[in-house]
Amino acid sequence: MAQTLTHADPLVVAGVELRSRLFIGTGKYPTDESMLAALEASECELVTVALRRLDLDDPKKKTILDVIDWHRFRILPNTAGCKTADEAIRIARLARSMGLSDWVKLEVIPDPRYLFPDPEETLKAARVLVDEGFKVLPYINADPVLARKLEEIGTATVMPLGSPIGSGQGIQTLEQIRIIIDQARVPVVVDAGIGAPSDAALAMELGADAVLVNTAIALASDPALMAEAIKGGVEAGRKAYLAGRIPKRAEASPSSPSEGISRPN
Amino acid sequence: MAIVSSAEAGLQAASRATILQLRAPAMTAAGIEREAMLLVASSPVPVLISSRCDVALACNAAGVNLPERDISTRDARTLLGERLIGRSVHSLEVALAAEREGADFVIFGPVWESSSHPHEKAAGVEALSRVAHALRIPVLAIGGVTEDRIAESGTAGAAGYAAIRLFE
């Protein structure tokens, strides 16, 4: 069934059809093996990698680029660790010059406590990078006005947060995300805050096009099992969105038929 | 990286390159500025300017690539802030110095005999490999790069390659 659904309901980002609506981050896994097992179990296609983390002290040490089989996954370089637009632009350009990818998950985060993205700097960096032909997937607070501005600039998606990165608080920005989805003509990817399959399902039920999950999987006791569980949440939520959920009502409506039945004497 | 001598050549190469370097040593500064303005405005990929930090700033280019004997990488960084700074190098020592001074990448060569620089002796793939493995920043191969040699330079540890002829 999942196969049928994928075929009938493709996600297209920057002209590329993706086979999964679950994007996975590669930080915080206890071991490379547990990360690979989780990627496998998630059946994801898009995998995001921090460009900063590739700058290792030991050039002979394996990087994440060596560990993952990039014939099977599509790399989404991200600018995590960049505090200003200029820093993010620089490392995105460098990554692209070296042939890594022209896709970039744009993260400009000056605030270490809540890791909220800087809207001004994100917009500034997006302008430059879109202009230079990058496919930009910006990480933003769930701000419908900012989402519109980024879309108008020409970003490939918008990626509003559900709650702070790694917090596992779920979708705290539900009403704003609903508005973003309602307005958007580019895919909306809920990124950050998802702690459990139910959070992923909720985002997808709202009509998000995809979700990005890292910490909830990487720090689970069994990352591969959690990856599989969240994949299930994403699929369930997407199907529910397509199926059309019932509206919420203040009063009950009996499940059993109440009309046209014979009454006992 | 396609090394081009005009905006027109740059736009032709842009579909096959991940970055452009505008290098026109015979041109006047005003000429380079004119070409850089045109190229930066219309290129679908980032544009570096060879040597001229002033032109790179004036034209809002992505950065510069400094020839080995150009101003220090440190001074260029002071001028250019977070813009990209590459350095052309012909030896391991200079490559290591460029990295220490904060270059974003180096271009090492000529790895093979090059028709654009016939007087320069080829350093060879082993030398490329030594530089690529000694540095943490990306190393691009240059000099006599052909379609057949791209894979070879990758195996040697180069992050990519720079060329003139290949993109013409």
Which of A87, A93, A103 to mutate: most B Cβ within 10 Å?
A93
Cβ–Cβ below 8 Å for A94 and B104: yes
- Residue A100 is predicted with a pLDDT of 82
Do strands A74-78 and A46-50 pair parallel, antiparallel, or not at all (unpaired)?
Answer: parallel
Residue B61 contacts A where some CB pair is shorter than 8 Å: no
- Residue A146 is predicted with a pLDDT of 98
Find out whether A48 and A212 touch, Cβ atoms under 8 Å: yes
Phi, psi (5° rounding) for residue A230? Answer: -70, -35
Q: Which residue in the set B44, B134, B135 is minimally distant from A133, CB to CB?
A: B44
- Residue A51 is predicted with a pLDDT of 81
Q: Say which range, A185-189, A246-250, B8-12, B67-71, has the weakest mean pLDDT.
A: A246-250
Nearest CA in chain A to B17: A97
Q: Which residue in the set A55, A59, A93 is minimally distant from B62, CB to CB?
A: A93
Query: CATH number of the domain that B134 lies in?
Result: 3.20.20.70
Q: Does the pLDDT of residue B1 top 90, yes or no?
A: yes
| H or E, element range at B40 | helix B29-42
Catalytically active residues of A are: 105
- Residue A6 is predicted with a pLDDT of 47
Q: What is the count of structural domains for chain B?
A: 1
Residue B62 contacts A where some CB pair is shorter than 8 Å: yes
Q: Does the pLDDT of residue B37 top 90, yes or no?
A: yes
In terms of DSSP H, where are the helices of chain A? 2-8, 32-42, 64-67, 85-97, 119-131, 144-153, 174-183, 197-206, 215-218, 223-243
Cβ–Cβ below 8 Å for B1 and A97: yes
Residues of A in contact with B136 (CB under 8 A): 55-57, 59
- Residue A139 is predicted with a pLDDT of 97
- Which structural domain range is residue B101 located in? 2-167
pLDDT in tens, A166-210: 999 999 999 999 999 999 999 999 999 999 999 999 999 999 999
- Work out the minimum CA distance from B116 to partner chain A, whole angstroms: 22
Q: Which residue in the set A60, A84, A98 is minimally distant from B159, CB to CB?
A: A98
**Strand partners of residue B166:** none
Instruction: Please give the domain boundaries of chain A with CATH numbers for all domains.
Output: 2-243 (3.20.20.70)
Nearest CA in chain B to A88: B82
- Work out the minimum CA distance from B93 to partner chain A, whole angstroms: 17
Q: Does the pLDDT of residue B117 top 80, yes or no?
A: no
Which of B77, B92, B136 to mutate: most A Cβ within 10 Å?
B136
- Residue B48 is predicted with a pLDDT of 97
Residues of B in contact with A98 (CB under 8 A): 18, 105, 138, 140, 159-160
Q: Which parts of A94-244 are beta strand (E)?
A: 103-106, 135-140, 159-160, 189-191, 210-213
Provide mean pLDDT across the span B31-35: 96
Could you tell me what percent of chain B has a pLDDT over 90?
Answer: 81
Tell me A3's DSSP state: H
Could you tell me what percent of chain A has a pLDDT over 90?
Answer: 67
Q: Which residue in the set B43, B133, B160 is minimally distant from A97, CB to CB?
A: B160
Find out whether A105 and A81 touch, Cβ atoms under 8 Å: no
pLDDT in tens, A21-44: 999 999 899 988 999 999 999 999
Provide mean pLDDT across the span B15-40: 94
Nearest CA in chain B to A130: B44
Nearest CA in chain B to A102: B18
- Work out the minimum CA distance from A178 to partner chain B, whole angstroms: 34
Helices (H) and strands (E) in chain A, counts: 10, 10
DSSP string, chain B: -EEESSHHHHHHHGGG-SSEEE--TTS-HHHHHHHHHHHHHH-SS-EEEES-HHHHHHTT-SEEEE-TTSS-HHHHHHHHTTSEEEEEESSHHHHHHHHHTT-SEEEE--SS--SSSTTSPP--HHHHHHHHHH-SS-EEEESS--HHHHHHHHHTT-SEEEBSGGG-
pLDDT in tens, A65-121: 778 888 889 989 999 889 999 999 998 998 888 778 889 999 999 988 899 999 999
